[in-house]
Structure 1
Amino acid sequence: MSSTERGFIPVRIAVLTVSDSRSMADDRSGQVLVDRIALAGHELADRKILRDERVGIAAQLRMWSEDPGVDVVISTGGTGLTGRDVTVEAHRDVYEKEIEAFGTVFAIVSMKKIGTSAVQSRATGGVANGTYLFALPGSPGACKDAWDEILVNQLDYRHMPCNFVEILPRLAENRRRK
């Protein structure tokens, strides 16, 4: 079956902004993601802003990953190198499997835009409870790059030769074998 014969399958995406200072009114990175999710035809399942606190971030990720109304979680912010940047650690507290190549591909995309400053990114992706989880840097540009260059394709069932959507129903198959 060619990609033109496959129909679009919308997924339900929750957006989490991690910031000690942002509100919904000035959350530009979260808004970039919300706008692109809608433009692509997906559903915004939920949106929140949380402070840079590892336990709280991990708890929210777990809650969404256990919610059958959420297929994907994208967080923005808290992926840097400073002491308050704990989003990556919170994600890894929740992951059952890490998608190691996500960070690598994001670094390649970033290199084209910001050169060697891309080494400071700790973007990551993983799976928990049959839900995809992605942590992106907190800049609107990084969110645009991750969505436009990686996620828009991987979250589109029509993208060939493979994509995240086609294996979504099988992510938690180990739980059904018991």
Structure 2
Amino acid sequence: MPGIDTSRNFIPLNIAVLTVSDTRTRETDTSGDVLTERIEKAGHNLADRTVVSDDIQMIRNQLLSWIASDNVDIVISTGGTGLTGRDVTPEAFKSVYDKEIEGFSAIFHRISYEKIGTSTIQSRATAGVAHGKYLFALPGSPGACKDGWDEILQYQLDNRYRPCNFVEILPRLQEGRKAG
């Protein structure tokens, strides 16, 4: 049965939150607030938080900056995963992935379907690994951020979760990568 093994000590991670939006500011970023509150309540560290426009190069540059940082283990974004012309978050994320985590999207859609029905088809939530870091792109609504964190990420980013979790293999993500 999956669950938290309370005999293990919790390992806090350094998580950066990226909001992708042409209309939100830090003051009006309710989805970023949802993620930040949940990250801190779980016992993780908020490594950084910023808002960038729906621009593939701006998103990519921010991702590359955090990927290169020793102070960031995980990036979670909100926004820009839809189907409009300005929604380019998945393209930016996929441009830096070493590996995509296809199961994240599948599980996110299953959870979302239970709440919003076939409307979940309009989301392109994605996740992957880049240079030893996990990257997760969630839709821009507070509800989608709650679902992504409460139903998936809070467990997979907790080293006590059984039978397995992302934290356990974090140190091994770069195995086989050539230096330079």
Q: TM-score range by the shorter chain?
A: over 0.9
**How many positions carry a matched residue from both structures?**
177
Return the match for 2:39 from 25, 37, 40: 37
Q: What is the match of residue 128 of structure 1? A: 130
Q: What is the match of residue 64 of structure 2? A: 62
Return the match for 1:169 from 158, 171, 176: 171
Please give the secondary structure, in 2, of the residue aligned with 1:55: helix
How far, CA to CA, are the matches of 1:31 and 1:174 in structure 2?
A: 37
Matching of residue 100 in structure 1 with residue 102 in structure 2: yes
How far, CA to CA, are the matches of 1:9 and 1:138 in structure 2?
A: 28
Q: What is the match of residue 91 of structure 2? A: 89
Residue 172 of structure 1: how far off its partner (Å): 1.2
Structure 2: gaps of 5 or more residues: none
Residue 128 of structure 1: how far off its partner (Å): 0.3
Please give the secondary structure, in 2, of the residue aligned with 1:175: coil
Q: What is the match of residue 48 of structure 1? A: 50
How far, CA to CA, are the matches of 1:74 and 1:111 in structure 2?
A: 21
- Aligned alpha-carbon RMSD (Å): 1.3
How far, CA to CA, are the matches of 1:101 and 1:112 in structure 2?
A: 17
Return the match for 2:20 from 10, 18, 21: 18
Matching of residue 158 in structure 1 with residue 160 in structure 2: yes
Residue 174 of structure 1: how far off its partner (Å): 2.1
CA gap 1:84/1:8 in 2 versus in 1, 3 angstroms = same
Residue 176 of structure 1: how far off its partner (Å): 6.7
How far, CA to CA, are the matches of 1:170 and 1:65 in structure 2?
A: 16
Residue 90 of structure 1: how far off its partner (Å): 0.2
Q: TM (normalized to structure 2)? A: 0.95
How far, CA to CA, are the matches of 1:64 and 1:56 in structure 2?
A: 13
Residue 177 of structure 1: how far off its partner (Å): 7.7
Structure 1: gaps of 5 or more residues: none
Q: What is the match of residue 75 of structure 2? A: 73
Please give the secondary structure, in 2, of the residue aligned with 1:48: strand
Q: TM (normalized to structure 1)? A: 0.97
Residues 112-136 of structure 1 deviation map (CA, whole Å, 9 limit, x = unaligned): 1100101111000000010000000
